[in-house]
Amino acid sequence: MDSKVLEMRNISKSFPGVKALDDVSFDLKAGEVHALVGENGAGKSTLMKVLAGIYSKDSGAILINGNEVKIESVRDAQRLGIVMIHQELNLMNHLTVAENIFIGREYKKKFPLFLDAGKQIKKTREIFSELNIDIDPTVKVGKLTVAKQQMVEIAKALSYDSKILIMDEPTASLTDSEIEDLFRIVRTLKEEGRSIIYISHRLEELKIISDRITVMRDGRYIDTVKTEEADIDDVIKMMVGREIFVKKQEPFKNEDAPVALKVENLSAGRMVKNVSFHVRKGEILGFAGLMGAGRTEVARAIFAAENYESGDIYINGRKVKIKTPNDAVKAGIAYLSEDRRRYGLALGMNVDENISMANMKKFSKLLFIDFKKSFTNSQMQREKLDIRTPSLKQRTKFLSGGNQQKVVLAKWLTRDSEIIIFDEPTRGIDVGAKNEIYKLLNNLAQQGKAIIVISSELPEIIRTCHRVLVMCEGRITGELIGDEIDQNTIMQYAIKRDINNGRLSS
Ligand SMILES: Nc1ncnc2c1ncn2[C@@H]1O[C@H](COP(=O)(O)OP(=O)(O)OP(=O)(O)O)[C@@H](O)[C@H]1O
Ligand SMILES: [Mg+2]
């Protein structure tokens, strides 16, 4: 018989105006990876925060190895062997790897004023070698990639000898090879008999890594299925409560539409080498490639968020000088950065303020701001993007991760720019809302906007783009139109190094 290491029974939890968890049950076996899925705001993070001692539950029971336990603080949870690795990592950038792992419980030497740094470093090395990870314990955490930082978080969890690890969207910002590393570590943890709760919006991962899948919707438990027997389409249906149809983008009909943006011989740093391209009004142009191919850097250079060494930019046929992001906005370019939490959101302000803030010009009459108009706009954006919040007056820090992203999206859409660059537009966004965003991209294109979509998800590129440029190591290696746009062809160009010095043959 499978023994349950954890049982959560009939858990409920309300926040002002939101019933985040309504009678939810969940269990976990030893050595199991149990995936938890659901739309943005379904309650996944909240359920796990209850387990990790961050939130207290209103009702329900938690059992560990069959015995009811009280979890009233993070320390309580840690003592019971439960540790959560958050959607937003929680490390101190200015401290070393070892210092981060042992923060708050440093090894002391006999003479109490001195830390035993040597012992901490040794202990850290032991954990890393157990996991077969190559990270120097003495390096500052701020110098590490997100993937490595995440491994530090996992090592930290293990240093508490955790039996239950909660991973909240661990692969959201990892490259493919980093994801493989993470999965290898997860498998090692499993073999050691540890259990993992795995939250993800990347449903294709579930088949690879999970043993069972539990679906939540609107704060409620829907069902638990064995992964081997599960059909991912059925899981999606349970998540959104309806069927979702996806089809390939139709060909671009308006081939002589005016060119909205033309970029010639753009070079910036090591990541952008002699890049030339154009996008027409009404067209959706994709930038595909592996992570680190230079796609984001192209966007940042155009937007003047990064310096560029050489290159010319034309908007509606006129050469423009863009020296600051502000110039770019004035020239009609919007850039929705991939790191939206960091650049796009004022967490202490409410949803309406966040949407309206950058758009005050649009809403002012003479010297007065027309708050009614801005509020109506926010209301409309909320409906269009299905932003789940009890009210527009809710502070954004209380929204779920995916809904925070939608607020940033709303803010840029309000700006009405002619050229819009979307960098990973649906990262952290659930399947149902993804589809809404794809529709939105099509609507914007139909209104004559020129759209650029940078995405690491090939299905997303295929669904949304009329034309696709593939990049590898800072160069454009291929241009695909219509039927040429498929996963295999894109991948071939994505690993094609240094041809024609980055120029397209046509
Ligand atoms: N501290 C809080 N105060 C008020 N409301 C909150 C708080 N934390 C979460 N909520 C609300 O509870 C609901 C569930 O949020 P939760 O973060 O658990 O969703 P999620 O399933 O993790 O979504 P995502 O996939 O977007 O991360 C949401 O409506 C959210 O706005
Ligand atoms: Mg969440």
CA angle 468, 434, 297 (to 5 degrees): 45
Closest CA to 387 of 369, 407, 401: 407
User: Is the minimum distance from the CB of 420 to ligand 1 under 6 angstroms?
Assistant: no
Task: Judge whether residue 239 has pLDDT over 80.
Answer: yes
Q: Whose C-alpha lies nearest to ligand 1, atom 7? A: 398
- Find the ligand nearest to 405 CA: 1
Task: Judge whether residue 482 has pLDDT over 80.
Answer: yes
Name the β-bridge partners of 259: 280
With cut-offs at 50, 70 and 90, classify the pLDDT of residue 483: confident
The pairing of beta strand 18-29 with beta strand 259-268: unpaired
User: Is the minimum distance from the CB of 84 to ligand 1 under 6 angstroms?
Assistant: no
Instruction: Find the 467 Cα to ligand 2 centroid distance in Å.
Output: 33
pLDDT for res 339: 67
DSSP 271-310: TEEEEEEEEETT-EEEEEE-TTSSHHHHHHHHTTSS--SE
**% of the chain at pLDDT higher than 70:** 93
pLDDT for res 111: 56
CA angle 109, 112, 114 (to 5 degrees): 60
Could you tell me how many residues make up the chain?
506
Q: Say if 4-240 and 258-332+419-430+445-506 have the same CATH topology.
A: yes
Measured CA distances, 128 to 155, 190, 408 (Å): 7, 16, 37
pLDDT for res 342: 61
Question: Strand, coil or helix: what is 438?
Answer: helix
User: Is the minimum distance from the CB of 427 to ligand 1 under 6 angstroms?
Assistant: no
**Domain 4-240 CATH superfamily:** P-loop containing nucleotide triphosphate hydrolases (3.40.50.300)
Region 300-307 average pLDDT: 85
Mean pLDDT score of the chain, rounded to an integer? 88
- Find the ligand nearest to 40 CA: 1
pLDDT for res 13: 97
- Find the ligand nearest to 216 CA: 1
Task: Judge whether residue 67 has pLDDT over 80.
Answer: yes
User: Is the minimum distance from the CB of 477 to ligand 1 under 6 angstroms?
Assistant: no
User: Is the minimum distance from the CB of 209 to ligand 1 under 6 angstroms?
Assistant: no
Least confident of 103-117, 170-184, 468-482: 103-117
Residues with a beta carbon under 5 angstroms from ion ligand 2:
45, 401
Least confident of 200-214, 233-247, 279-293, 340-354: 233-247
- pLDDT digits 0-9 by tens, 325-357: 889 988 999 988 776 656 678 889 999 999 998
> Is residue 11 exposed (0-12), middle (13-18) or buried (19+ Cβ within 10 Å)?
buried
User: Is the minimum distance from the CB of 403 to ligand 1 under 6 angstroms?
Assistant: yes
Region 144-154 average pLDDT: 86
Q: Whose C-alpha lies nearest to ligand 1, atom 31? A: 399
Specify the CATH architecture of the domain 258-332+419-430+445-506: 3-Layer(aba) Sandwich (3.40)
User: Is the minimum distance from the CB of 388 to ligand 1 under 6 angstroms?
Assistant: yes
Region 142-149 average pLDDT: 85
- pLDDT digits 0-9 by tens, 429-454: 888 778 888 988 999 999 999 999 99
Domain range summary for the chain, segments of one domain joined by +: 4-240, 258-332+419-430+445-506
Q: Among the atoms of ligand 1, which is closest to the Cα of residue 402?
A: 26
- pLDDT digits 0-9 by tens, 358-401: 777 788 877 788 888 899 999 999 998 889 899 999 999 899 87
With cut-offs at 50, 70 and 90, classify the pLDDT of residue 505: very low
Task: Judge whether residue 2 has pLDDT over 70.
Answer: no
User: Is the minimum distance from the CB of 166 to ligand 1 under 6 angstroms?
Assistant: no
Q: Whose C-alpha lies nearest to ligand 1, atom 2? A: 398
User: Is the minimum distance from the CB of 399 to ligand 1 under 6 angstroms?
Assistant: yes
The pairing of beta strand 467-472 with beta strand 475-481: antiparallel
User: Is the minimum distance from the CB of 40 to ligand 1 under 6 angstroms?
Assistant: yes
- pLDDT digits 0-9 by tens, 6-40: 999 999 999 987 889 999 999 999 999 999 999 88
d(CA 178, CA 156): 18
pLDDT for res 499: 45
With cut-offs at 50, 70 and 90, classify the pLDDT of residue 1: very low
Instruction: Find the 465 Cα to ligand 2 centroid distance in Å.
Output: 28
User: Is the minimum distance from the CB of 402 to ligand 1 under 6 angstroms?
Assistant: yes
Task: Judge whether residue 502 has pLDDT over 70.
Answer: no
d(CA 359, CA 367): 14
Q: Whose C-alpha lies nearest to ligand 1, atom 24? A: 40
d(CA 163, CA 335): 43
pLDDT for res 106: 66
Residue from 21, 45, 408, 431 to probe ligand 1 pocket by mutation (most atoms less than 8 Å from CB): 45
